[in-house]
Amino acid sequence: MKKTFEGKRIFMIDLQESWCEAAASLLAQRNYLVKTSNAYSYSEPTCYVEGEAPDVVILSCGSVERGERQLVRKIIAHKRHLIVLCAVLAREESRRLFLAGAQDVAHKPFSCSSLLTIVGNSLAGQEIKDCFRERMLRK
């Protein structure tokens, strides 16, 4: 039976308010607790991540520029699981994001189901069953 992750707290950041709200309402239908941010600057979301420690942070953007990279670093520094969704994404950029510590990097999904799959996989991936690896990654 597929595991559900109801009640997990998801924080979605997208400067584009309409996309952010649409994705949030979709996730809320699956009983995720969703909080959104479409503030003009990235400092507000950083404070929220630091204070509330959500289970998953989704950074949704058009492309990854300097500001996004800084935000990624800050979120990872707070040991949060981060998914980066991007409209335009070069492979080398995705490699850099993974190396920086992003848990998943994907193109902005075109369908509801693919967004749910990305989030579901991320939450499932947090439950590492191999204890030796769990210890290694935690360090």
Which residues are at the interface with other proteins (CB under 8 A)? 89, 91-92, 94-95, 98-99, 103-107, 121, 125, 130-133, 135-137, 139
- Rounded to a whole number of angstroms, the minimum distance from the CB of residue 78 to other proteins is 19
How many Å is the Cα radius of gyration of the chain? 14
CA–CA separation, 4 vs 60, rounded Å? 23
For other proteins, the closer CB: 36 or 94? 94
Side-chain half-sphere of 116: how many Cα atoms within 13 Å? Answer: 15
Q: Which is nearer to other proteins, 3 or 139 (CB)?
A: 139
CA 4 to the chain's CA centroid: 18
What tokens appear for 118 in the block?
Answer: 């990305």
Q: How far is the CB of 51 from other proteins (least distance, A)?
A: 27
Please identify, using beta-carbon distances, which residue of 2 and 139 lies nearer to other proteins: 139
